[in-house]
Each structure stands twice: as structure tokens, then as C-alpha cells.
């Protein structure tokens, strides 16, 4: 019976592939035809368009012909791009047209409908769909966790059908490898097969194995904030990327990939995920880190990097508490109160200088700024101030035109300069007086160009001094005591900040406040053209950062992905994340999804890792069997190194083994020692590197969001992982492993591992 099904399905598959190949040939002919026509039009363009410049009607006729030719070229170009788009889709389908079949009936009907689901839709000449795009409304019934009555969101509204059959295929190079029927959304057999594969340097799409809870994330179109809390390896990022593809399909053509931004943990992660959308036939969205966004906005500062944040061992308890305050949502609210008071007093300005002298003093600017009534907000007040300053500039230009330096400049102009100006403005040279006045104005405006630039761009605001004023005033708006900060400590921190400014440096905590202060004073409208924001590894974002991003992208809908158990920067503050988001998105539609099942790791690795967490019992492991994690305690660095080399040799069958250290310094030393012993390792020490297969040595903060066939946690000793804040880091490292996990310690194993039952790991002597 099973073999007969496979034969029948292969026959249909052959027919579909044949039709796809014919469609590919047709698209190639269209492309070649468009390219040929474009070359002909471009070649004959100047021959066909006769230039008639002697009469007005001749000029008009020439203009019409030029526009007609350009419209023809534009049309051909559009058709060419569309043909390429369809060809790309057909190439995706050619070797693997679909992965699932669903049979269903409409309610109160005996007619059975059959659909096949693949990466993209494909219809025959009669417009009958042979393959449905996985994102099509009807395709969602495949991802529901049952047979029988299933409701999906059709264009006309909710629609219920009776699902009779779900059939899954594994197809390779046009041949059905396996075919099986399932009652669940995705049968464990297919999922197990996919999860058992070796890791790759690029993330794969998960279209064939989307789970029901992931499908809710992907197809949500009504949430202003979609908040996903998911265990490590639960498919948060994968679901989010398929969600991007779904949104591009659902809202085409009103939504483009350039209107979607993914904030990711680091550039290494950006490179890791950059293949997913192209594999689904879509262009990549904009990808950036929070550091990249803020660093781009303040080019005159050197912003604290990811490596600096993680390797800064010099932070005192007071420093940490000050950072906690600056990073908090309470601080964001306090800054808003401060900004409200700036409407009455407190703005700091710079003198506007011309030729080494004060043109408009900062006192004059302040007087103008505060002369407007209380109905003006900060942005209106700044715009009105600019208008007044431009009036003063125009008056100064008029008076300056009569100065001797201007007449001297006119006399010094050479013939070539004069001729160029005359050709550009012939009407201004009808008589001597007009000519002189125009040249004088031209020279003075040029001389005052820098002044005009300063005024129109609001560069007369002393933003550095304003920020210091804000920090000095902040205790008036927020309780230092609430954060355990003495007043004297706060004042000392201001001196340290001034010292950092002198060196052109700014911390990640300060840059967020600095940017918000600038944008509110300048009346920046942010980026209203961006429609969707995705934030991955959101547990390491602060309340202030979240509020700032929400302000900067006022028209966007947000998808926020977090695992509060993996917070390696914010630690316990991460547990305030959802509460902060509810305040930030107050009055907007918030949907929450929790993913508790971990798919990345074997059952043994997941069960071992979750005991590192105080509430890890909620995490569910997927039933993929593997070997127990191995824990070894070595008496010395030398023995640790020998043990590592042995582990590396035993991992030869795996594509990638990651040796993950707590910090970069530890990784650099280890990589050097291994290379000296002839071990070929790749040290990942900056986020701008690309992932490769083989033996990797990588610091924990660069491993976030990534996965590897095998992982070795380096120096898991009491000394290295000493306190509770290290718990989440240890959990993050262990959950990077897909198939094999080794934990190696020098001397005493960290007490963080004491809670793990002995039967869940193998202790190597």
C-alpha cells in the first residue's frame, strides 16, 4: 500500500516538475526578448528622436518623443524584473516543488479537495494551482495540530473545513525519498530527520517543519507588539524570519523588505541568518545591531562596543547601579519630565561665529528661544527659533553686501568665474547695477553658507552641555536611593563622564539617553517609513533602549523575541522586560506567545541544561535521543588542554565543534595554545567575522543565537562561574549544542552544576 502511494505521488511529481521546467523556458524567452528590445531601443534612441531646437513646437515635439522612449524603456525594465522574479521562484521549485499534501472537505459537502504546499505557488496554463505557497491562507490548515475541523483565516474571514489527510514528503533532486501520513501538524519523523542533520554556517529555513505555536507567530497580523518568550532552541528566530517572509507575501506590494528592520545581537548573527529569506525567494530585510544604529547616529563619539561591554571587569557596584538607573524605563520617564521643564528654561546654546567673531550670541539665541508662548513644544520652539535666526541672517547679508571686502572680492574674480555665473543666471546681468548686486549677494551668501548650515541644522544647540545639565538635574526627577546610589557617587560619575567626553567616548547606557535628548529637542520624527521592527535576544535590551526604539519607529509594529534565562548583559533586570514593554505599548494591541519546547538539542542536552536554571522545569525537550553530556574536572591547565585535544579528536564526525569561553581573553589564549600543538582552530574574536565549519573558539557573547554540532564549555570552574549572575551565561553556552556537549573544569566544578541530577550526565575521571 505504502509503495503504491509513493509510485502514484512520484508520477504526479514528475508531471509538476515537467510543467515547471516548461514555465522556466517560457520565462527565459521573455527575459531574452525584453533584453533584445531594450538594446534596440537604446541603440536607435538618438536616431529616432530628431532634435528640433529652432522652434518652440520643435522643442515640444522632441520632449514628447523623449518621454515616449523613456516610458517604453521603463516598461521593458519592469517586465524584465518581473520575469526574473518569477524565474527565481521557478528555480526554487524545480528540484523540490512541494513538501506536503492536504485533503479536505468543505463543511456540508462530500467533495474532497487536494492541495500541495511548497515554497511558492505554481499554476498551470489554466490557472489551476498545482502548488500553493506555504504562506497562502489555505496552507495554514497544514500547520494546525489535528485532523478534522480546522478554521483558517481566509480573505473573507474565518473559514472552517474538515481536514481528512496530511501527507508529508521528503524530496531530493526530483525524487521522493520518503512519504508518510500524519495526524499532527508536522510528524515527529520529518522533524526528527531535520533536527538530526549537522549544523551549517548559515541558518536554514524551517518551512517544512513549522510547529503550530510557531505558526501563530508567523501569521499574526493584528498585534502592535508580538512578544515571544521562548526557551533556548525553541525556534524563536526561525519563526521570526518565516514571519518576515509571510508579511512580505501577505502585504505585497505595499510592504517591501526595506521597510522591515531586524535588531540582532551581533554582526556574526546577522551573517548567520542572511540566507533564510533568499532561500524563500525574498530579499533580506535591513539587519543591524543596536550598537550599529547608535554608533551611526553619533559619528563624533566612539560608542562602547559589544566586546568592551562584556570584558569590562572594572565596573564597581556603584558603577553597575548607575548603569541600572540610566538603562531603566524610570530614567526614560524622568528624561521626559526634564524635557517638559526645558519649555520654560534650561536650554544651552553655542555662539554662532562668522569670520572669527560672534555673529549671534548664545544669550541672544536663548532669548529668542524662550520668547514664544507656552503653546510651543520643544520642536515648534526650535523651528520658530531657526526662522528668527534666518531673518537675522538675511538682514546681515543685506548689510554685508555693502562692505569693502565684498567689492574687493568682485574685483578679484577672474573671467572664467564671471562667465560661469553669467551663463547660469543671464537675467541678472541686464545692467551694471543689477550685475553688481547679484555678484555681491552671491559672494556674501557663499561666505555665510556655513552659518546658514548651522542654523538650519540646529547646530547652535550645545548638546554635550545639555546632556551634562540633564545628568546633573536627573536626581530631581528620579530617586537615586531607589537604585542604591549615594548623591556623592552620582556627582563623581558626572566627572568621569566629562572625562570620557574629552576623549570622544560614550557608554552604551549614556548613548541612548543622549540620542533621545537630541531627537526630542530637535523635533525628530524618527523613521515613519519603517513598518515592522524585529528585536532578537531582547532580554539583553534595557527598558530605556526599548522605549527609544519605540519612539524612533513610531509607525512600526514590533515583534520582540526573548529568553529571559539567557540575559548575559541585563541579568536580573531582564525579568522586568515584559512589564516595561506593557508600559511602553500601553493602549496598543499586545499578543504574547510562549514557546516551551526546545528542538535544537538532544533530549539529554536539554534536560541537563535546564537544571542550571531555578525554574527550568517548565522547559520541555523534544524526543531526539543522544548521548549524555560529559563533565570532566582536570587538575591543571595542561591536563585541561590535553583533555580538549582528546575531545576534538573524538568529535571528528561533526561538522562544527565550538569551544566556548567566558570571555575573549580566555579564548585568545586557548586558540594560541591549540595552534602551537598543531590543532587547526578558527578563533572568532570580532563580530565582523564569518562562521565557518571546523573547530571554533568563540567567546560566549558572540555565540548568542547560534548553534553548533558539538560544544565544549571551557573552564566551568568555581573560580570562573562564581555567582548567580553567571548562571544564565552557563545556560546559554550549554544550549548552543545540538548533538554533543562537554563541560570541562579546572579544579572544582562551579556550584551552579550542583542542582543537576547525577544520572543526567557522565562524569569523566
List binding-site positions.
230-237
- Phi then psi for 368, rounded to 5 degrees? -65, -45
d(CA 364, CA 215): 60
Are 565 and 604 contacting, i.e. CB atoms less than 8 angstroms apart? no
Q: Show binding-site residues for ATP.
A: 230-237
- Phi then psi for 290, rounded to 5 degrees? -65, -35
d(CA 680, CA 657): 12
Find all residues with CB under 8 Å of 650, minimum gap 6, and list them: none
d(CA 730, CA 715): 11
Question: Minimal CA–CA distance to 507: which of 657, 739, 302, 675?
Answer: 302
CB burial string 359-373: b at 16+ within 10 A, e below: bbebebbbebbbeee
Are 266 and 704 contacting, i.e. CB atoms less than 8 angstroms apart? yes
Are 718 and 751 contacting, i.e. CB atoms less than 8 angstroms apart? yes
* Strands of the sheet with 762-764, listed across from one edge: 681-683, 694-699, 656-661, 708-713, 737-746, 630-634, 762-764
* Strands of the sheet with 225-230, listed across from one edge: 286-289, 260-264, 532-535, 557-562, 225-230, 590-595
Are 229 and 562 contacting, i.e. CB atoms less than 8 angstroms apart? yes
Question: Minimal CA–CA distance to 646: which of 526, 549, 744?
Answer: 744
Are 744 and 713 contacting, i.e. CB atoms less than 8 angstroms apart? yes
CA-based R_g, the chain, Å: 32
Question: Minimal CA–CA distance to 511: which of 474, 548, 560?
Answer: 548
Q: Which residues pair with 112 in a beta bridge?
A: 105
Q: Where are the alpha helices (DSSP H) in 208-300?
A: 212-219, 236-250, 267-273, 276-279, 290-297
CB burial string 308-347: b at 16+ within 10 A, e below: ebbeeeeeeebbebbbbbbbbbbbbbbbeebbeebbeeeb
Whether the ω angle into residue 616 lies within 30 degrees of 0, i.e. cis, is no
d(CA 711, CA 752): 18
Sign of CA dihedral 138, 143, 148, 154: negative
Distance in Å from the first CA to the final CA of the chain:
53
Sign of CA dihedral 641, 647, 649, 651: negative
Find all residues with CB under 8 Å of 352, minimum gap 6, and list them: 358, 359, 360, 365, 389, 451, 454, 455, 460
Are 205 and 241 contacting, i.e. CB atoms less than 8 angstroms apart? yes
Q: Which residues pair with 102 in a beta bridge?
A: 115, 166
Other C-beta atoms lying within 10 Å of the C-beta of residue 523: 14
Residue 77 sits at the vertex; the CA angle it makes with 71 and 82, to the nearest 5 degrees, is 130
Q: Which residues pair with 558 in a beta bridge?
A: 225, 533
Are 99 and 171 contacting, i.e. CB atoms less than 8 angstroms apart? yes
Q: Which residues pair with 405 in a beta bridge?
A: none
Amino acid at each position: 500500500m505504502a509503495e503504491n502511494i509513493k509510485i502514484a505521488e512520484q508520477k504526479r511529481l514528475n508531471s509538476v516538475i515537467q510543467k515547471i521546467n516548461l514555465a522556466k523556458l517560457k520565462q527565459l524567452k521573455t527575459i531574452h526578448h525584453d533584453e533584445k528590445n531594450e538594446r534596440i531601443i537604446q541603440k536607435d534612441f538618438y536616431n529616432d528622436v530628431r532634435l528640433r531646437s529652432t522652434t518652440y513646437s520643435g522643442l515640444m515635439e522632441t520632449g514628447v518623443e523623449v518621454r515616449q522612449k523613456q516610458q517604453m524603456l521603463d516598461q521593458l525594465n519592469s517586465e524584465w524584473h518581473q520575469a526574473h522574479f518569477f524565474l527565481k521562484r521557478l528555480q526554487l521549485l524545480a528540484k523540490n516543488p512541494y513538501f506536503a499534501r492536504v485533503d479536505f472537505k468543505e463543511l456540508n459537502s462530500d467533495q474532497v479537495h487536494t492541495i500541495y504546499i511548497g515554497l511558492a505557488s505554481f499554476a498551470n496554463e489554466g490557472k489551476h494551482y498545482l502548488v500553493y505557497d506555504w504562506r497562502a491562507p489555505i496552507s495554514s490548515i497544514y500547520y494546525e495540530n489535528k485532523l478534522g475541523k480546522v478554521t483558517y483565516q481566509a480573505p473573507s474571514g474565518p473559514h472552517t473545513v474538515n481536514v481528512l489527510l496530511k501527507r508529508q514528503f521528503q524530496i531530493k533532486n526530483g525524487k521522493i525519498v520518503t512519504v508518510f501520513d500524519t495526524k499532527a501538524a508536522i510528524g515527529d519523523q520529518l522533524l526528527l530527520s531535520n533536527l538530526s542533520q549537522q549544523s551549517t554556517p548559515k541558518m536554514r529555513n524551517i518551512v517544512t517543519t513549522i510547529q503550530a505555536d510557531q505558526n501563530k507567530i508567523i501569521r499574526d497580523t493584528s498585534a502592535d507588539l508580538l512578544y515571544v518568550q521562548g526557551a533556548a532552541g525553541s525556534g524563536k528566530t526561525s519563526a521570526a524570519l518565516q514571519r518576515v517572509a509571510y508579511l512580505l507575501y501577505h502585504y505585497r506590494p505595499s510592504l517591501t523588505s526595506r521597510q522591515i528592520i531586524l535588531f540582532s545581537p551581533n554582526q556574526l548573527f546577522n551573517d548567520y541568518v542572511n540566507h533564510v529569506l533568499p532561500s524563500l525567494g525574498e530579499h533580506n530585510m535591513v539587519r543591524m545591531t543596536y550598537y550599529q544604529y547608535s554608533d551611526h547616529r553619533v559619528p563624533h563619539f566612539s560608542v562602547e562596543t559589544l566586546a568592551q561591554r562584556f570584558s569590562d571587569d572594572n565596573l564597581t557596584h556603584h558603577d553597575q547601579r548607575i548603569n541600572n538607573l540610566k538603562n531603566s524605563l524610570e530614567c526614560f520617564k524622568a528624561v521626559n519630565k526634564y524635557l517638559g521643564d526645558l519649555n520654560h528654561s534650561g536650554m544651552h546654546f553655542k555662539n554662532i561665529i562668522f569670520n572669527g567673531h560672534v555673529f549671534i550670541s548664545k544669550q541672544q539665541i536663548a532669548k529668542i528661544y524662550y520668547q514664544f508662548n507656552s503653546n510651543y513644544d520643544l520642536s515648534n520652539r526650535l523651528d520658530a527659533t531657526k526662522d528668527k535666526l534666518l531673518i537675522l541672517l538675511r538682514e546681515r547679508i543685506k548689510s554685508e553686501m555693502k562692505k569693502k571686502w565684498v567689492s574687493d572680492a568682485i574685483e578679484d574674480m577672474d573671467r572664467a568665474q564671471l562667465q560661469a555665473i553669467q551663463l547660469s543666471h543671464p537675467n541678472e546681468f541686464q545692467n551694471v547695477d543689477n550685475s553688481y548686486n547679484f555678484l555681491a549677494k552671491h559672494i556674501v551668501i557663499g561666505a555665510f553658507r556655513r552659518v546658514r548650515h548651522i542654523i538650519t541644522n540646529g547646530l547652535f544647540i550645545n548638546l554635550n552641555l545639555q546632556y551634562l545639565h540633564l545628568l546633573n538635574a536627573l536626581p530631581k526627577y528620579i530617586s537615586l536611593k531607589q537604585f542604591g546610589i549615594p548623591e556623592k557617587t552620582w556627582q563623581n560619575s558626572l566627572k568621569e563622564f566629562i572625562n570620557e567626553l574629552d576623549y570622544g567616548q560614550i557608554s552604551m547606557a549614556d548613548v541612548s539617553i543622549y540620542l533621545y535628548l537630541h531627537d526630542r529637542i530637535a523635533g525628530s520624527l524618527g523613521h515613519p517609513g519603517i513598518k515592522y521592527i524585529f528585536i532578537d535576544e531582547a532580554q539583553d535590551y534595557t527598558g530605556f533602549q526599548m522605549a527609544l526604539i519605540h519612539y524612533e519607529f513610531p509607525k512600526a509594529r514590533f515583534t520582540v523575541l526573548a529568553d529571559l534565562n539567557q540575559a548575559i548583559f541585563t541579568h536580573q533586570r531582564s525579568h522586568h522586560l515584559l512589564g516595561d514593554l506593557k508600559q511602553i505599548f500601553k493602549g496598543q494591541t499586545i499578543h504574547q506567545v510562549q514557546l516551551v519546547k526546545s528542538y535544537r538539542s538532544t533530549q539529554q542536552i536539554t534536560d541537563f541544561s535546564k537544571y542550571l536554571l531555578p525554574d527550568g522545569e517548565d522547559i520541555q525537550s523534544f524526543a531526539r535521543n543522544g548521548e549524555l553530556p560529559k563533565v570532566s574536572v582536570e587538575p591543571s591547565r595542561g591536563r585541561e588542554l590535553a583533555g580538549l585535544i582528546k575531545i576534538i579528536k573524538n568529535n571528528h564526525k561533526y561538522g562544527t565543534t565550538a569551544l566556548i569561553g567566558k570571555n575573549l581573553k580566555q579564548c585568545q589564549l586557548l586558540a594560541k595554545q591549540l595552534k602551537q600543538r598543531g590543532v587547526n582552530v578558527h578563533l572568532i574574536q570580532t563580530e565582523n567575522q564569518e562562521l565557518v565549519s571546523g573547530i571554533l573558539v568563540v567567546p560566549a557573547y558572540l555565540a548568542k543565537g547560534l548553534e553548533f554540532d558539538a560544544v565544549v564549555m571551557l573552564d566551568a570552574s568555581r573560580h570562573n562561574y562564581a555567582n548567580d549572575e553567571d548562571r544564565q551565561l552557563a545556560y546559554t553556552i550549554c544550549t548552543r549544542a545540538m548533538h554533543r556537549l562537554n563541560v570541562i573544569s579546572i579544579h572544582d566544578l562551579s556550584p551552579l552544576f550542583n542542582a543537576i541530577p547525577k544520572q543526567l550526565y557522565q562524569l569523566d575521571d
